């Protein structure tokens, strides 16, 4: 399995981010071909607050190739193009092979 992780910085309008993300962006992301599962949340800092992300999204695919194909697909392009609508400061993406 392979995991795509997306982190978002603190938005200027958290309420807009939360509503738009749930109502508009996640339904787009659910259309990614090969998507096995996903999760997201709004983390709270442990200890001293640092440069914590506002939101974290994780998507699981069968392989790195499946993830790349999903991101390059038409739904993947729509997902990427939608990010500025709720997160004008962008997002940070990383990925990794899931180990047991």
Task: Give the whole-angstrom CA distance, residue 27 versus residue 30.
Answer: 5
- Check residue 47 and give its pLDDT: 76
Task: State the average pLDDT over residues 5-29.
Answer: 97
- Check residue 77 and give its pLDDT: 97
For residue 73, pLDDT over 70 is answered with: yes
Task: Give the whole-angstrom CA distance, residue 99 versus residue 8.
Answer: 24
Residue 45: pLDDT band with limits 50, 70, 90? confident
CA distances from 79 to 15, 72, 85 (A): 20, 10, 11
Domains of the chain: 2-44+52-97 (3.30.70.100)
14: nearest Cα among 41, 54, 58? 54
- Check residue 49 and give its pLDDT: 67
**DSSP H helical segments within the chain, as ranges?**
14-20, 26-29, 64-72, 74-82
**Mean pLDDT of the residues in the chain:** 95
């Amino acid at each position: 399995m392979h995991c795509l992780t997306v982190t978002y910085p603190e938005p200027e309008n958290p309420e807009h981010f939360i509503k738009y993300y749930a109502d508009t962006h996640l339904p787009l992301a659910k259309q990614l071909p090969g998507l096995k599962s996903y999760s997201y949340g709004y983390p709270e800092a442990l200890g001293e607050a640092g440069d914590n992300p506002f939101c974290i999204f994780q998507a699981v695919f069968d392989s790195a190739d499946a993830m790349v194909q999903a991101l390059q697909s038409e739904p993947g392009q729509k997902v990427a193009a939608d990010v500025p609508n709720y997160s004008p400061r962008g997002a940070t993406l990383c990925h990794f092979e899931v180990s047991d």
